[in-house]
């Protein structure tokens, strides 16, 4: 069995953003040479997510508004976590809802997606360098 590991780095200028990272994951898959197996893609930070859905701008706006209703950024004093001196209490909650990681099957050297599926990095506390882990195992 072969194993491949890579870290993808992001420095999102805004506090929150969704980025389609499917092209980077495809590049990793090509580099790995693995034809049959599984790829794990996970955020390495507790204020960011990796998730799968449609690359459709209206849906991304819906996520932004829905998450902001669930866990508004302001006022930052509403979160006990921010008593530590941080201002990212909302980002931890948003990350929990959107998830830490995805696993995708690899079949015939390709990501074996359902219709319209794409992999996204969800940033909820940006403006600093953060990482995503790509781990591929198979043969």
Q: Give the CA angle between residues 112, 104, 137 to the nearest 5°.
A: 105
Least spacing, CB of residue 12 vs Zn ion, in Å: 16
In 17-72, which residue ranges form alpha helices assigned H by DSSP? 22-32, 57-70
By beta-carbon proximity to Zn ion, the closer residue of 64 and 86 is 86
Which residue in 114, 112, 118, 116 sits closest to 138, CA to CA?
Answer: 112
- Smallest separation (angstroms) from Zn ion to the CB of 92: 6
Find out whether 2 and 33 touch, Cβ atoms under 8 Å: yes
Binding site for Zn ion (CB under 5 A): 86, 88
For Zn ion, which is the closer residue by CB, 84 or 107?
84
Residue 48 vs 104, nearer CB to Zn ion: 48
Smallest distance from Zn ion to CB 123, Å: 14
């Amino acid at each position: 069995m072969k194993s491949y590991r890579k870290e993808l780095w992001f420095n999102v200028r805004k506090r929150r953003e969704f980025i389609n990272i499917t092209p980077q994951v495809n590049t990793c898959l090509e580099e790995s040479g693995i034809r049959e197996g599984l790829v794990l893609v996970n955020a390495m930070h507790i204020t960011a997510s990796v998730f799968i859905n449609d690359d459709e701008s209206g849906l991304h706006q819906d996520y932004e508004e829905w998450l902001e209703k669930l866990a508004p950024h302001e006022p930052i004093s509403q979160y006990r976590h921010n008593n530590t001196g941080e201002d990212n209490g909302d980002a931890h909650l948003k990350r929990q809802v959107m998830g830490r990681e995805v696993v995708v099957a690899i079949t015939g050297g390709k990501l074996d997606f359902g219709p319209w599926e794409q992999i996204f990095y969800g940033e909820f506390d940006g403006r600093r360098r953060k990482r995503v882990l790509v781990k591929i195992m198979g043969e």
